[in-house]
Structure formats: C-alpha cells, structure tokens
Amino acid sequence: MSQLPKPDTAELRAKYPGVFERPASARLAMPVVIVAALVIFAYGLVDLDFSPSRLISGMSQLGWITMMMIPPNPGSSFPLYMQALGETLSIALLGTTLAALLALPVSLLAARNVIPSNLIRFPVRRFLDSIRGVDTLIWALVWINVVGLGPFAGVLAIMVSDFGAFGKLFSEAIEAADRKQVEGIRASGGNALHEIRFGLLPQVLPVIAGQVLYFIESNTRSATIIGIVGAGGIGLQLAEQIRVLEWQKVSFLILMILIAVAAIDFISSKLRFAIIGQRAVV
Amino acid sequence: MATAVSILPAPQLAVLKDTYRKAVARKRLKAALAVAVFCAVLVIAAFGAEVNLRTLFTYFGNFVSYFDRILTLDSGARVWTDPAEWFWGWHKWLKMLGETLLISYVGTLTGAVFAFALNFFAAQNTSPGPWVRFIIRRLLEFARTVPGIVFALIFVIAFGLGPMAGVLAIAIHTTGALGKLFAEIVENADMKPVEGIRSTGASWLSCMRFAILPQVSAGYASYALLRFEINVREASVMGFVGAGGIGQELVVAIRKFYYSDVSAMLVTIIVTVFIIDISTGWLRGRLFGKETRR
C-alpha cells in the first residue's frame, strides 16, 4: 500500500485558519446567547411575581382541584353539554369554510405569480398580516359588540381570524405552484382567468383542501375557547362551571372536548389522505 | 417544416373518447356527491350555530361603524390627527406589553425545557420502552389539546390572579405542542450515529447526547422560536381571564367602550407581533440557514 504523505499540521493551520480556529465571534456566540436567555428568564421570574411559596401553595391548591375533579360527572346537564358541543363543532366548521371561501380570491391578489405588481400585493399582504395579528378572542369580543352574545358571533370571529391565516397560506401554496402548466394554458391561447382556473387551481386545490381540513381541526380548539368570552359553544359552559367551582363538571367538559378533538382529528386525517394521497401536508 | 400530428382513425378515437368521458363523468359525480354532502353538513351546522343572516345584515353596519368609532377620539377627530391624545396611556400600555412579552418568553422557555426533557421518550426510535412512550405521548396530547386559556382559567383559581397563572398555562401548552414537534424531528433523525455510539458501550443518555442531539438542536431552536411568536399572541389574550398582560387592559376597554383606547392597544399589539414575527424569522434564517425556515 502506498503511504500518504504525512500532513504538515502547522502548514495546514496557516493555510486554513478558518477550519482550525473558528473566529472568536462564532465560539462566543453560543455561551453569550445562553447567558442572555437565562438573565432574561430570571428577570422575568422576578418581574412576574414568581415566588417558591406561591408556587408551592398553588400546586397544593391544584392538587386539591384535581382530586375534586375525579370522577368526572356531568350531573343532570349532559344533554345541555352535548348541545353545546354540537354548537362548538358547528362554529368551527362554518367559520373555517366561510373563511376559506372568502380567502381564496384575496389570496390570488397576494400571490407573486398571479399579481406581479408590488403595488397591490404589498397592501393586501399587510392587511392579511394585521388581521392575523389580532387574536380570535379579540375578534370574538368585537363581533359580540356587533351581533350580540351567542354562537353566531363565534362563527364570525373564527371566519375573520382564519381569513387572515388562509390568505397567507393559500397565497404561499399558489406561489409554490408549477409555472409550466400556466405557461401551457397561455400558449394554447387562454386568458388570465383560464390560466388561474386550469393552470393554477388544479395544482393548489388539494393543498388548500388539506389546509382547510387541518384548520377545522385546530378551530375546534379555538371554538371551545371563544365561548369563554360569551361567543357560545362548550367554552361558555366550561367557563361558567370553572367560575362556580363545579370541578366534576369541569373535568367532564374537558374530557368531552378531548374526545371531540380526537374524533375530528381522526376524521380529518382520513379525509386529508383521501384527498391528497399519502403526501404530507402542513 | 412542421411535423404533422398523427391523428388516429375515427373509430379508434371514438372508443378512446368514450372511455375518457366515462372516467371523467365518474370523477365528476364523486366530486358532486362530496360537495352535496358537505353543503348538507354546513346547513345543519348553520342551524346549530344559530346563524341568522338577518341579524348579520341588520347589524353589519355596526361592524363597519365599530371600526369607525374606535378610530375616532372623544373630541370627534380622527385618531391619527392627534397621536399624543390617541396613545395617551402609552406608558402604562408599554409596561403591560412588556409584561405580555415576558409572560410568553418565560412560558416558552419553560415549556421548551420540559418538551426537551420529554421528547426523547415520546419519539418512536429513541424511546426506552413502548409503555413509557405511550404514557408520555398521551400526556403531551392532553397538554396540547386543552386550550391554554382553559388552563389559565383553572390556574387563576389555584395560583391567584396575575401573570403567574398565564406563564404556567403557556408553559403547559407549549410543552405539549413542542414535545410533539420535537419528537417528530427526532424520529426523522439518522439512526446510524446512535448505532455507532451504542457499539462503543455508551448508555442511553450518552446516545441521546452525542448521536441525536447534534442532529436535532437546530430544528428544536427553530420550532421554539416559532412557538414564541405564537405565544406572544396567546399571551396578549391571557389577561381576558385575569392572567396578566395587556389583555387585561384591552378587555376593560372593549367592554366599557373606550373606543380610541381599543384601537390604540390593538395597533400596539399588531405592531409588536409584526416586529416579533420579522425578528424571529430573521433570527431563524440567520442561525440555521434558509433550509430550516418554515
């Protein structure tokens, strides 16, 4: 076997200083970041009134509450809770669907390959961003001011806040679409609308359907919480029972939410695979 | 010059066309059925959610005029004509906003640490045993599925009003969400380094530390930053149930119809969320290169 020439370490070191000695900035970056993170964390603990005694007494309280929660028991309100759960699922489904329908045309305006001009795209994007910046709960409060307490306000709240999210996701899906099919349509004499209908939509619809299903799933969760501010559904019952300290009912309601979410999860993942095949989405 | 396109003889073509039409018709029928079922479900849902189009149309003006009102000062002028009057409470609001950011920061970090500790047990390829994995997975699922604000409601009763309840609620929710994502990263990791390290007689802990961790830490940090972004939004509403942060001020302003205050606080929150979005996006790109950005 031929022997490789022995490497001259000193020479190599001189030749590639970057490999042997990382610059000080790179070596120091990690410890500095960690120390800074810990300092902010400690400051946060102090500023937010964390104290071991509070933590311990709270934990023991929490232990008590957990004990009181067992066994879960709806009392005589089971039919009421089922109805509330139905309301929640309806809110999630309707809100998401309406949001998707509204967001589709707007997302075309926000996609670079449909509207090349920055003049329209930029304001549309910022508009969607601002809608997304406001939490669903805040939208729920606003809609309650408009249409009154009840599940309808919840539907509208979910619709508005998802509109922002969908607008962004859809426009990203559209931008990721293959350019060639659009070019093919244009080459055969199609106009701009034809390009969208036959070139873009067939590519993006499965992706969009997957995202909508995923959102219906996650909105089941959102729909439970907007009840807390009075927008109907099971969250309303949950918040009420927590306020009057009926822990057995609380645990039952939480259990119901968990089961409902798991069921929706299961159904929508089945549907998603049916629509898009085994390709992973989101 | 142009090569002629060869066209099949008519009878052959007719058969092909016929088959094509049949296939398309079946597909269309399926799609139409799916749409019909979906519409039926929607109608049922509409009844369930007490959708009332008349209310919407009657009061839709309110929605528009609500924005008109929150953009008007008490004096009747538009808010942007007098920013000093609009943001009269900026000192207090900025303090609350700082509290919101701290809540989400402390909550995210705590949650990430717990998720980090648990995720190796939850991942299929690194879990020491199926039972441990099953239990940890259910635990994470529970923490993730129960909305953060429900935890906050309960914690407010156990720990008293204040930001502590918010931090703990966010920490628990983050543990659930990040635990799952972290475990997925670990499941995608290459197992060969683990074999290499185990063959030297290393313990499970050293396998995780030296074989898995170097592969996954960038993904962890990226997801944790993303979660921080989400948690800032979540923390801004924790105050609705008395768990600290700017939400407390906001809900008072909305309920008591302090219109211009509502818009001022909303603008503050939106701008903050923008800044956090952009800076964490930049940070993720900077730390881990383009390919880990999601």
User: What does the pLDDT look like over B109-145, one tens digit per residue?
Assistant: 999 999 998 888 888 877 778 888 889 988 998 888 8
Identify residue A56 by its one-letter amino acid code.
I
Q: Is B256 helix (H, G, I), strand (E, B) or coil?
A: coil
B139 touches chain A (CB under 8 A): no
Query: B160, exposed or middle or buried, with CB in 10 Å at 0-12, 13-18, 19+?
Result: middle
**Is residue A272 helix, strand or coil?**
helix
Give the tens place of pLDDT for each residue, B48-77.
Answer: 777 777 777 777 777 778 888 878 877 777
Least confident of A129-133, A181-185, B269-273, B286-290: B286-290
- Per-residue pLDDT band for B270 (boundaries 50, 70, 90) equals confident
Q: Which of A134, A94, A126 is nearest to A109 (CA)?
A: A126
Residues in chain A, pLDDT under 70: 1-3, 22, 276-282
Flag if A146 and B66 touch (Cβ within 8 Å): yes
Q: Mapping DSSP to helix (H, G, I), strand (E, B) and coil, where does residue B88 land?
A: coil
Which residues in chain B (141-180) have CB-CB distances under 8 A to chain A? 142, 145-147, 149-150, 153-155, 157-160, 162-164, 167
pLDDT for residue A121: 83
Question: Which 17-76 residues of chain B touch chain A by CB within 8 A?
Answer: 41-42, 44-52, 55-56, 59-60, 62-63, 66
Per-residue pLDDT, A215: 84
Mutate to test the interface with A, among B44, B240, B262 (most CBs of A within 10 A): B240
Chain A residue whose CA is closest to B167 = A48
Find how far residue B290's CA is from the centre of its chain. 21
Secondary structure percentages of chain B, helix, strand, coil, to 5: 80, 0, 20
Query: Per-residue pLDDT tens for A238-262?
Result: 888 888 888 888 889 888 888 888 8
- Whether residue A71 is preceded by a cis peptide bond, meaning omega within 30 degrees of 0, is yes
Tokens representing residue B219 in the block:
């993904």
Cα dihedral: A62, A67, A69, A75 (round 10): -140
Amino acid at residue number B128: P
Model confidence at B293, pLDDT cuts 50, 70, 90, reads: very low
Comparing CA positions, the residue from A239, A64, A233, A89 lying closest to residue A153 is A233
Contacts of B261 (CB under 8 A, 6+ apart): B89, B249, B253
Q: Does residue B106 carry a pLDDT above 80? A: yes
pLDDT at B79 over 80: no
Q: How far apart are CA A114 and CA A196, in angstroms?
A: 8
User: First CA to last CA across chain A, in angstroms?
Assistant: 54
Partner residue opposite B153 with nearest CB, options A147, A221, A242: A242
B173 vs B47, residue with greater confidence: B173
pLDDT at B289 > cutoff 70: no
CB pairs under 8 A between A and B: 168
Would you state the pLDDT for residue A280? Answer: 45
pLDDT band at residue B248 using 50, 70 and 90 as cut-offs: confident
Judging contacts by C-beta atoms under 8 Å, the chain B residues touching residue A221 are 145, 147
8 Å CB contact between A163 and B272: no
Q: Kindly report, residue by residue over B185-214, the tens digit of the pLDDT.
A: 888 888 888 888 889 988 888 888 888 888
Structure tokens at B151: 């935890």
State how far the Cα of A161 lies from the Cα of B12, in Å rounded to an integer. 55
Contacts of residue B59 in chain A, CB cutoff 8 Å? 146-148
Q: Which of A79, A113, A137 is nearest to B149 (CA)?
A: A137
Per the prediction, chain B carries an average pLDDT of 84
